[in-house]
């Protein structure tokens, strides 16, 4: 299993990399900075009275390899616009290469046309990032793998699975574990995790009555007497996970935990999770955890700065990124 240790950032040819942080998740950017032993570039992002965004990079970036760390999480439009302006500022300052590091890629759930006269917003966002001047993209657990194909520039999609596997192995014995996908669409993700920890899988057959609402109808697989680990990429309202936990316990599971990469947790999701029958919810800090998330007794946050930092270092050094996951 790959482990990550602190590195001294930079390229083999001696050229340093520049790490630029937006405002969406400053603690994560600082964690990446600490891992790489590379200070965050000096700059400021501020707003005019009418809330227009102004960016100024306050150090030389000419000819350098720049990485902009910015999740496009809530408020999605503000954070996306900030990312675009940061990229533009770096390109106009003659940066040699600009990589958009987007731990959480907003609008990813709008990756196809579910009906007539609807947008494919994930593709639109990809076009905007390219047009702003990004030379490559580094992201984490895209909601749909095909979004990589929406870009005409190199795009690396990292996986949080290695971080989750280490945490699972640290906290649970594999004897009575089973990995569960909360819906049919997540079977590939569940199977990949189950293979890593050598346990079986099960599936919750879900019928969604309306956007943001779900109803679990059936459980496919033998979960009686098992401790279940639900795995997914995004938790938003929390309804799917809570319903899945209820169904699994009704089918004889002894306890239910969840590992989710992106904790969107909008509206009353945190309260819903706190009052649910989930023993624990583990999320990464790809999205800045709110005070409510940090205060919830059954929600825990896994840091991913080392994973992203290592990917940044390898990208800058022109080394393999995919080997992180073998």
**Residues with catalytic annotation?**
206
317 is in an annotated binding site: no
252 is in an annotated binding site: no
Peptide bond into 75 cis (omega under 30): yes
- Report phi then psi at 38, rounded to 5: -125, 120
Query: In the beta sheet, which residues pair with residue 257?
Result: 229, 280
251 is in an annotated binding site: no
240 is in an annotated binding site: yes
109 is in an annotated binding site: yes
Written as six digits, the tokens of 189 are 């993700």
237 is in an annotated binding site: yes
52 is in an annotated binding site: yes
| Alpha helical stretches, state H, 93-222 | 121-132, 161-171, 187-197
Coil, helix or strand for 130? helix
143 is in an annotated binding site: yes
166 is in an annotated binding site: no
* Residue with token string 């106009």: 92
22 is in an annotated binding site: no
239 is in an annotated binding site: yes
208 is in an annotated binding site: yes
65 is in an annotated binding site: no
Whether the CB-CB separation of 126 and 102 falls below 8 Å is answered with no
The Cα–Cα gap between 257 and 266 comes to: 20
In DSSP notation, 4-21 reads --------TTSPPEEEEE
Query: In the beta sheet, which residues pair with residue 207?
Result: 215
Whether the CB-CB separation of 29 and 19 falls below 8 Å is answered with yes
* Residue with token string 């346990």: 199
Q: Which residues define the annotated binding site for Mg(2+)?
A: 143, 183
Q: Which residues define the annotated binding site for D-ribose 5-phosphate?
A: 208, 232, 236-240
Q: Which residues define the annotated binding site for ATP?
A: 50-52, 109-110
Q: Which residues define the annotated binding site?
A: 50-52, 109-110, 143, 183, 208, 232, 236-240
């Amino acid at each position: 299993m790959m482990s990550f240790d602190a590195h001294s950032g930079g390229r083999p040819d001696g050229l340093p990399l520049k790490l630029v942080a937006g405002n969406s998740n400053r603690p994560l950017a600082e964690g990446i900075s600490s891992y790489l032993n590379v200070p965050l570039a000096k700059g400021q992002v501020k707003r005019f009275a009418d809330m227009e965004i102004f960016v100024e990079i306050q150090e030389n970036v000419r000819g350098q390899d720049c990485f902009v760390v910015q999740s496009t999480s809530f408020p999605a439009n503000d954070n996306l616009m900030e990312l675009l302006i940061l990229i533009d500022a770096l390109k106009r300052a003659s940066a040699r290469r600009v990589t958009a590091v987007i731990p959480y890629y907003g609008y990813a759930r709008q990756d196809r046309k579910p009906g007539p006269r609807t947008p494919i917003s994930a593709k639109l966002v990809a076009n905007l990032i390219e047009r702003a001047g990004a030379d490559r993209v580094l992201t984490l657990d895209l909601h749909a793998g095909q979004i990589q194909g929406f870009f005409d520039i190199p795009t690396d999609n990292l996986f949080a699975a290695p971080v989750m596997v280490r945490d699972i192995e640290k906290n649970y014995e594999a004897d009575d574990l089973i990995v569960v996908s909360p819906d049919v669409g997540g079977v590939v993700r569940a199977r990949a995790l189950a293979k890593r920890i050598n346990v079986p899988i099960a599936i919750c057959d879900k019928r969604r009555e309306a956007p943001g609402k779900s109803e679990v109808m059936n459980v496919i697989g033998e979960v009686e007497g098992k401790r279940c680990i639900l795995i997914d990429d995004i938790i938003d309202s929390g309804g799917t996970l809570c319903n899945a936990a209820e169904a699994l316990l009704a089918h004889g599971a002894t306890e239910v935990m969840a590992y989710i990469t992106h904790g969107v947790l909008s509206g009353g999701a945190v309260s819903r999770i706190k009052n649910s029958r989930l023993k624990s919810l583990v999320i990464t800090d790809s999205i800045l955890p709110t005070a409510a998330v940090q205060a919830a007794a059954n929600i825990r946050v896994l840091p991913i700065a080392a994973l992203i930092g290592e990917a940044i270092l390898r990208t800058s050094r022109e080394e393999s990124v995919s080997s992180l996951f073998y």
